Chains A and B, each alone.
Chain A
Amino acid sequence: MSEDWKVLINGWANQIPMAKRFFVTASILRAIGQPEESSQLYSQAKESFEKVGDQSGIAKTLGQLGRLAEEQGDLELAERLYKEAHQIFERLGANPYLKLAKRDVQRVRRKASSHGEPA
């Protein structure tokens, strides 16, 4: 009885695909303010998504890496990553993330131009 909840968690965790494990852990680390570790894990998530050919996963991960770069002030890198994500979402066609990716690109461009950096 006392361990029943642990059994439920283990059952849940066992089903998580590898790429999602990296992605979820990266999201937690980003939330608690560990950008470097988070970035490494997102990169590993991207590799794992690439291995299984999950284009949507790759694009979402690029978006998160872009967000981290933006938060760290690397607007050039952020824009490159957002654009890459946007291109994948465009190729995938109708996708709720397409709009978000476009918004990310526009935002970082605005930010870059207000900082006097090349857009």
Chain B
Amino acid sequence: MNFSEALEHIVDTACSKRLSLCVGSGISVGRPACRPLADELKFCILEGICSSVELRQLYEHRLRTEKDIGGKIRTYPLEAFIERISENYDILGTIAEIFRGGSPNKNHIIIARLLENGFVREILTTNFDLLLEKALVSIGWRIRDDFNVYCTEKQFREIDFDSRLPTIFKIHGSADDQESIRVTLRLVASQTLSESRARILDRYLVSGEGDILILGYGARDDFDINPVLSRLSSKKRVFYVRHESCEPIVTSELPEAFRNFEGNTIRCHTDEVVDYLWRALLDE
């Protein structure tokens, strides 16, 4: 399968209303959203903590992203990293404030339009930010009347899977509900995905047919999501967009967590995929 064929396949699936969308922090980086990626946030926090004279040298020589300990910090999940800090010094309010900010960018607007036009009915995201909700509100939708958002453990347990409303599953919680983030941090730090969250993954990724398009997601949730993913197998085909500034290449390898899934990795600038969806499905 080449790049054009992959995109056409995704569009065909969207037209037949069988496209599921999973999105991660990568979609919220571009202006005017400007929210941080996990690594950016971790190292900014660490640099801030180590800004005193006493810790500066340790940071510069060992902890920076390119240094030896920095490498280990890169692979340590953001949620667990924040929990380790939060246990000793309150940071949650600041984290929630960061992810309450920003304005929707092109990715959020296009995803909102895909929902509006019925090409996608459900979105699964690990993002804390509110940018998809803001994008939907900007096109005149109202939460609960026109779309649902699930982000708390209680909500995950009581999901109405028969609802006709388009739905956003915020599997790691949401910045407008600090407690939902707090619960996620504890779960991730203890290397657990709750049963209700695992059930969403199972239903969303396994049940039924169609394609799963994954955008802006690093697939590095080794403490909670990945162990569950690696136990699932699905008839759904995964298109994993790995953001790279290169000529688009389609390979048959997926990230390790998706080892039991069929599908392809599309290595390209994420904009190439998003722009194509816009032109093919929404640009009348």
Contacts and interface: CB of A to CB of B under 8 A. Distances in A.
Nearest to A3: B34
Given A12-B48, A25-B50, A32 B62 contact: no
Interface string B26-52: 000001101110000100111111111
B36 A27 contact: no
A8 B97 contact: yes
Contacts of A22: 54-55
A27 B51 contact: no
A34 B84 CA distance: 14
B31 A1 contact: yes
A28 interface: yes
Interface in B87-122: 87-89, 91, 94, 97-98, 101-102
Chain A's interface: helix, strand, loop or mixed, by majority? Answer: helix
A102 interface: no
Contacts of B36: 5
A28 B85 contact: yes
Contacts of B91: 12
A37 B48 CA distance: 19
A29 interface: yes
Contact of A37 (B51, B52, B69): B69
Interface in A1-57: 1-2, 4-6, 8-14, 16, 18, 20-25, 27-29, 31-34, 37, 41, 44
A24 B52 contact: no
Interface stretch (B4-12, B73-81, B239-247): B73-81
A9 B45 contact: yes
Interface residues of B, number: 36
Contacts, number: 91
Contacts of B46: 25, 28
B32 A23 contact: no
Contact of B72 (A6, A25, A33): A33
B89 A20 contact: yes
B52 A28 contact: no
23 contacts: A1-B31, A1-B34, A2-B31, A8-B97, A8-B98, A9-B45, A9-B94, A14-B48, A16-B48, A20-B88, A20-B89, A21-B50, A21-B52, A23-B88, A24-B85, A24-B88, A25-B50, A27-B84, A28-B73, A28-B81, A29-B69, A37-B62, A44-B54
Interface of A: 1-2, 4-6, 8-14, 16, 18, 20-25, 27-29, 31-34, 37, 41, 44
Given A9-B98, A13-B45, A24-B49, 11 more contacts: A4-B101, A10-B48, A10-B51, A12-B94, A13-B49, A16-B49, A23-B88, A31-B84, A32-B72, A32-B73, A37-B69
